[in-house]
Amino acid sequence: MSSATQMHSEVAAESIFSSHGERLQVIGAFAIMIGIPALCIAGGQAGVLRIAFPALSVVIGGFLLWRSKPAYVGLVLWLWFLTPFLSRMADFQSGWSPASAVELAPYACAGLAGVPLLASLRSTLGDRRALPYACALVAITYGLILGFVSLPLFDVLRALLNWLVPVVFGLFIFQYRALYSEFKRVIERCFLFGTLISGAYAIYQFFDLPDWDRMWMLNVQLNSFGAIEAMKVRVFSTMNAPAIYAAVTVCGLLLLFNQGGKLRLFSVACGFMGLMLTVSRASWLSLAAGGVYLMMRAGISQRVRLAIGIFACGIFLMGLTQVPVVHELLAQRMETFSDPSQDASFSARLLGHQQAFHQLAQEPFGEGLGSTDSLHNTEGNDDIIGPHDSTVLEFLYSLGWVGTLVYMLGVGSLAVRVMRAGRSDSFVVSCNAILIGFATQCLLNSVMIGILGFMVWTFASMSLAAQACAETEKAPVERQGSRVIRFEAA
């Protein structure tokens, strides 16, 4: 039996199986996942989560992977959304820890996606449609070998998680593309509520900075957060950096612009206001680029929804700027668009890229995974950019020119296939808009690793899965049509 046939059999069996009573088991698994952290925090014992939460995430994730793969995808998304918040609560109640094991939870749970792929890995990667994943894995392996040779093991393994997990999870989505419709519903629902919750918390965080967030900011000492005061902080919501929260919120907004329902307006309101309070210009550009793509590619009904969403965002922005502090904050940030040469951040990026390219010209083979943290880490108060501030620099330092070329070969083939998508599926149009948005950040953020890389590979894989499903549905119709033609000719 081929891997594709086996996969479709497993999907069919799973769908039938889950429809006969597994719903309660899935609900129970989520109840445990929510209940245990909530009880620990309520009891003032959040420090227990440093050990318990990663283990719980693996156990519940493994169970859902077995029982319901769509529910598993939903769990992984919520872990990315909320794990940093739980880590801060653990630090607040049990003392600061510079390296919290809680942060491993989304990586460990998402990494489980590789388990069902192992049995058919060779045939899966042998499929020409899997070329993007094969190229990425080859390039990552190259960088891993370089890292093992010359860098500390801890830094190499940490970098490996950031590089590998997004690709593996994307390959999982593509391999189980027969579940595309279920994955789509789960992702839309997760971002509907995730954008609402994280946006509402971001607004609260700006106007009344919680003690646990304040304590964490004082310990990490990152100048990218702004002043550690209410109504002066750059919000980061339930995540661990303004840029990360902003980029994830852009994903949510571009999905919500193409959805219906009353709740989406509340989610858009909270998400958009939270995005503005991050003062993240890179994500503002992403939202604008993605919105333009949506307007160009969407159908008539989707354009109406998008117009309503844009109009609502304008109203929310007008309301938000009625607060004098917010008006001043946003006005100062907006002014940097009119004269980038006077912007210290812009100048630092130009200088940083020039210096990095001069060094990289002498290191064509790269330094290996982990080098960006081990050799080029920037302190929290340094007004300079590091490799994590640029996708280009992250690639060239970690993979060298050779590894980067191989990885980009895969990304190029991925881009060509993704942009061939039609307009019939509004979710796919939103996925492509998200990818366009992330592409605008390549020189401003490192968007192919960690949570941002997870978003890129997940939405790209969903777009590929939709196309593969459409081709599969079209093939029997074409064969049936050819039989009718031959019959009539006879």
Together in a domain, 409 and 283: yes
Least-confidence region, from 30-34, 118-122, 219-223, 472-476: 472-476
Together in a domain, 61 and 121: no
Give the span between the Cα atoms of 214 and 201, in whole angstroms.
Answer: 14
Q: Which domain holds residue 177?
A: 117-489
Kindly report the pTM of this predicted structure: 0.90
Q: Which residues pair with 226 in a beta bridge?
A: 233
Region of 227 on the Ramachandran plot (φ > 0 left; ψ -120 to 50 alpha; else beta): beta
Together in a domain, 164 and 228: yes
Q: What is the mean pLDDT of residues 150-176?
A: 95
Together in a domain, 188 and 281: yes
Q: What is the pLDDT of residues 396-432, one digit of tens each?
A: 999 999 999 999 999 999 999 888 876 678 899 999 9
Q: What is the mean pLDDT of residues 28-39?
A: 96
Please say if the pLDDT value at position 9 is more than 70: no
Please report which confidence band the pLDDT of residue 1 belongs to, taking 50, 70 and 90 as the band edges. very low
Together in a domain, 108 and 201: no
Give the span between the Cα atoms of 112 and 193, in whole angstroms.
Answer: 24
Together in a domain, 434 and 390: yes
Domain end: 96, 116, 136, which one?
116
Least-confidence region, from 18-22, 78-82, 101-105, 169-173: 18-22
Together in a domain, 282 and 416: yes
Please say if the pLDDT value at position 176 is more than 80: yes
Together in a domain, 475 and 401: yes
pLDDT at residue number 124: 79
Together in a domain, 136 and 243: yes
Together in a domain, 47 and 175: no
Q: What's the whole-number average pLDDT of the chain?
A: 86
- Of 316, 234, 205, 326, which Cα lies nearest the Cα of 268? 316
Together in a domain, 278 and 405: yes
Q: What is the mean pLDDT of residues 359-382?
A: 78
Please report which confidence band the pLDDT of residue 238 belongs to, taking 50, 70 and 90 as the band edges. very high
Q: What is the mean pLDDT of residues 343-362?
A: 72
Q: What is the mean pLDDT of residues 234-253?
A: 95
Together in a domain, 151 and 71: no
Domain end: 70, 92, 116, which one?
116
Q: HEC profile for the chain?
A: CCHHHHHHHHHHHHHHHHCCCHHHHHHHHHHHHHHHHHHHHHCCCHHHHHHHHHHHHHHHHHHHHHHCHHHHHHHHHHHHHHHHHHHHHHHHHHCCCCCCHHHHHHHHHHHHHHCCCHHHHHHHHHCHHHHHHHHHHHHHHHHHHHHHHHCCHHHHHHHHHHHHHHHHHHHHHHHCHHHHHHHHHHHHHHHHHHHHHHHHHHHHHHHCCCHHHHHHHHHHCCHHHECCCCCCECCCCCCCCHHHHHHHHHHHHHHHCCCCCCHHHHHHHHHHHHHHHHCCHHHHHHHHHHHHHHHHHCCHHHHHHHHHHHHHHHHHHHHHCCCHHHHHHHHHHHHHHHCHHHCHHHHHHHHHHHHHHHHHCCCCCCCCCCHHHHCCCCCCCCCCCCHHHCHHHHHHHHHHHHHHHHHHHHHHHHHHHHCCCCCCCHHHHHHHHHHHHHHCCCCCCCCCCHHHHHHHHHHHHHHHHHHHHHHHHHHHHHHHHHHHHHHHHC
Say how many domains are in the chain: 2
Phi and psi, residue 226, nearest 5° = 75, -160
Q: What percent of the chain has pLDDT over 90?
A: 59
Please say if the pLDDT value at position 484 is more than 70: no
Q: What is the pLDDT of residues 446-457, one digit of tens each?
A: 899 999 999 999
pLDDT at residue number 321: 87
Q: What is the mean pLDDT of residues 209-222?
A: 92
pLDDT at residue number 386: 64
Q: What is the pLDDT of residues 71-114, one digit of tens each?
A: 999 999 999 999 999 999 999 999 998 888 999 999 999 999 99
Burial of 43 (0-12, 13-18, 19+ CB in 10 A): exposed
Give the span between the Cα atoms of 156 and 145, in whole angstroms.
Answer: 10
Please say if the pLDDT value at position 317 is more than 80: yes
Give the span between the Cα atoms of 128 and 122, in whole angstroms.
Answer: 12
Q: What is the pLDDT of residues 460-472, one digit of tens each?
A: 999 999 988 877 7
Please report which confidence band the pLDDT of residue 340 belongs to, taking 50, 70 and 90 as the band edges. low
Domain end: 64, 94, 116, which one?
116
- Of 180, 63, 159, 166, which Cα lies nearest the Cα of 114? 166
Please say if the pLDDT value at position 351 is more than 50: yes
Please report which confidence band the pLDDT of residue 476 belongs to, taking 50, 70 and 90 as the band edges. low
